[in-house]
Amino acid sequence: MSEFDAIVVGAGPAGSSSAIKMASGGLNVLLVERGDPPGSKNVSGGILWGKDLSSIIPDWEKSAPLERYVERKVTSFLTHDSEIAIDFKTKKFQQDKTGYSVLRTRLDGYLARKAQQAGAMLVTGVTVDSLAMKDGKVVGVINEGETITSDVVILAEGPNPRVAISAGLREKPNDKTVAVGVKQVYKLPENVINDRFNLRGNAGFAGEYVISFLPNNVFAGGFLYTNKDTISVGVVINLETLRKDGKTHSFDIMEQFVQHPYIAPFLEGGQLQEYSAHFVYEGGYESLPKPYGNGYMMVGDTAGFSFSNGMILQGMNYAISSGILAGESAIEAKKDNDFSEVSLSRYWKKLEVSPAILDKKNFRGINSVVWSGLVHRTIPALLETSLQNMLYETGAPKKHLSQILLKSMSSTGVSSKDMMIQGYRLMRRM
Amino acid sequence: MEIEEKLALLNYKTDPEYAHITVNPSICETCPDHFCTFACPAKCYTLIEGKLNFKYEDCVECGTCDVACSHGSVKWTNPKDGHGIKYKFG
């Protein structure tokens, strides 16, 4: 007889959502978090996209610590001197909200409390050292040599899942499956943020940037999100190109981003509150681990559920939805009193028809585009040169757009054939 | 802003008895790239007179060094119960 029906390792959005689902379904749940309080080890950009919480917390949009809703979404290329951006603002997001900026210490604390209210037992400041195994089955967790037993263990450790890795349930992260996120939070008065970003009320700004001005061929993206009275700003650094370069420091990339002539004015006068770093899961469909087995399921980043197509960065939504599906599967497995691999394959069946897997599958190979020279160097250079040529009034007769583009291509060293082939691939993958 | 000023903003519950990350000095001595010194956002890895210096106390637990080191020197574990970085915003 196990001490718990389920033990959840990690009280982030994935783990707590799973715990809420299971505890509400009558399961006896232990939620173990190494941070004290929950969220204190976690970092996210972060925008919580979608409405995945609705099924477990119907009033979440009123009760959760949401900072601002996204009303203005910017997708942008930054070159050394310029910014070329799509700046999409719509009042439609005021009626039907698509995403909210959040701070993880607040959100994770809220979700863990919801899990407690649903009946889960929460312990914080406790590090699970390893999994307890018996006859090839996961039967619990081990902390400081002591075993706590359960019918099923839900691994919700985030993108650096030491317990799952040491148990051999998934591979160690590598240059292709993770990028390094570095983030800074600045404090600014609410009215200053509203004025600076052209916002009213609790409308918010979410910007994602291609940082194309880094030396050599280091690729990085940037983000800037408004919270109530703080701004979250950060970079996501591709490790493969950072390694190949071997001369650029991750710390300096963050500094260069916040000092960019079109980023710095947003942050001016802001007081730096926090510097943080965390993995961003980047692996594609091919590198997804098998997310279940005898006595265990993996959720959120631990299972590789995240998505980025260069326009949007998502993770918490998949964390929540996969956590709920794992919780549902555990409830069903409990009814059959069967937590074997065969029984828990029901989790995979649910995942296969959910966005967590479908988005990965449909956007297979997207990372080779997101982290390509085309996106990070060619397109920004071409756009900058073309716009410059188009807008610079010389007094001479004007040229057609096609002539300007061709001239810009030749001055940036791109052949039109290459551009067509690569552009077509980019459109197809995005 | 320097790294020291940024790290000074952070709260840690340092474990004086357990270093959650260790490096193998004999491997680091012959390392041709020292990529850890460029990858670690908290600058826990520095070269002092050509010798690798590592301090786990400043670690923000991102995991980067474990991926960065391709020579098997870094041994990465989670800090023990409640120790390590304590973010206020996250």
Q: Which residues of B touch A255 (CB under 8 A)?
A: 1
Q: Tell me, what DSSP letter sits at residue A389?
A: H
CA distance A154 to A354: 19
Phi, psi of B73 (to 5 degrees): -85, -35
**Side chain identity at A377, as an amino acid letter?**
R
Q: Which of B6, B38, B79 sits opposite A249 (nearest CB)?
A: B38
- Compute how many other C-beta atoms are within 10 angstroms of the C-beta atom of residue A402: 8
Q: Which CATH class is domain A4-65+104-171+289-363?
A: alpha beta
A182 touches chain B (CB under 8 A): yes
CA distance A309 to A220: 14
A400 touches chain B (CB under 8 A): no
> Which of these ranges, A361-370, A405-414, B30-39, B72-81, has the smallest mean pLDDT?
A405-414
Q: Name the band, by pLDDT with cuts 50, 70 and 90, for residue B30.
A: very high
pLDDT of residue A254: 98
More confident residue, A419 or B19: B19
Q: Which of B9, B79, B90 sits opposite A127 (nearest CB)?
A: B79
Q: Which residues of A touch B76 (CB under 8 A)?
A: 162
pLDDT of residue A216: 83
A43 touches chain B (CB under 8 A): yes
pLDDT of residue A427: 79
Q: Which residues of B touch A159 (CB under 8 A)?
A: 63
Chain B residues within 8 Å of chain A (Cβ atoms): 1, 3, 6-7, 9-10, 33, 35, 37-43, 60-64, 66-68, 76-82, 84-90
Q: Tell me, what DSSP letter sits at residue B62?
A: -
Which of A316, A320, A318, A346 has the alpha carbon at shortest distance from A333?
A: A346
A108 touches chain B (CB under 8 A): yes
HSE, side-chain direction, 13 A CA sphere, residue A43: 27
CA distance A42 to B85: 10
Q: Which residues of B touch A144 (CB under 8 A)?
A: 80-81
Distance from CA of B73 to the nearest CA of A (A): 15
Q: Let me know: does A160 contact A173? Beta carbons within 8 Å.
A: yes
A335 touches chain B (CB under 8 A): no
CB-based contacts of A412, cutoff 8 Å, min separation 6: A378, A381, A382, A385
CA distance A26 to A198: 47
Q: Which residue of B has its CA nearest to A276?
A: B60
Mean pLDDT, rounded, for B46-72: 96
Which of A385, A367, A387 has the alpha carbon at shortest distance from A375?
A: A367
Whether residues A277 and B80 touch (CB distance < 8 A) is answered with: no
Distance from CA of B27 to the nearest CA of A (A): 18
**Side chain identity at A236, as an amino acid letter?**
V
CA distance A231 to A207: 11
The domains of chain B are located at 3-10+23-81
Q: Which residues of B touch A179 (CB under 8 A)?
A: none
CA distance A35 to A104: 12
3-class DSSP state of A215: coil
Q: Which residues of chain A have pLDDT under 50?
A: none
Whether residues B62 and A254 touch (CB distance < 8 A) is answered with: no
Three-point CA angle A151, A331, A298, nearest 5°: 65
Considering just the CA atoms, what is the radius of gyration of chain A in Å? 23
- ipTM strictly over 0.85? yes
Q: Is the dihedral of CA A162, A326, A319, A204 positive or negative?
A: negative
Residues of chain B above pLDDT 90, percent = 99
The region that residue A150 occupies, defined by phi over 0 for left and psi between -120 and 50 for alpha, beta otherwise, is beta
**Side chain identity at A411, as an amino acid letter?**
S
HSE, side-chain direction, 13 A CA sphere, residue B11: 13
Residue that has been written with the tokens 């009303």 in this structure: A71
- The architecture CATH gives domain B3-10+23-81: 2-Layer Sandwich (3.30)
Structural tokens at position A333: 């497995």
